[in-house]
Amino acid sequence: MRQPNPINIRRIDHVVIRANDLDRMLDFYCDVLGCRLERGPGDIGLAQLRAGCSLIDIVAADGPIGRSGGAAPDHAAPNMDHVCLLVEPWDRADIEAHLAAHGVESGDVEARYGATGQGPSLYLKDPEGNTVELKGRT
Q: Mean pLDDT throughout 66-77?
A: 66
Q: Mean pLDDT throughout 19-29?
A: 93
CA 50 to each of CA 57, 63, 92: distance values in angstroms, whole numbers, following the listed order:
9, 21, 23
CB of 91 within 8 A of CB of 102? no
CB of 66 within 8 A of CB of 45? yes
Is residue 90's pLDDT more than 70?
Answer: yes
Q: Mean pLDDT throughout 25-46?
A: 92
* CATH code, 58: 3.10.180.10
Domain that holds residue 38: 14-135
68 or 134, higher pLDDT:
134
pLDDT digits (tens, 9 = 90+) for 38-60: 988 888 888 999 999 899 989 88
64 is a domain residue: yes
67 is a domain residue: yes
Which residues neighbour 106 within 8 Å (Cβ) at sequence distance 6 or greater?
96, 99, 122, 123, 124, 134
70 is a domain residue: yes
Percent of the chain with pLDDT over 90: 39
Domains of the chain: total: 1
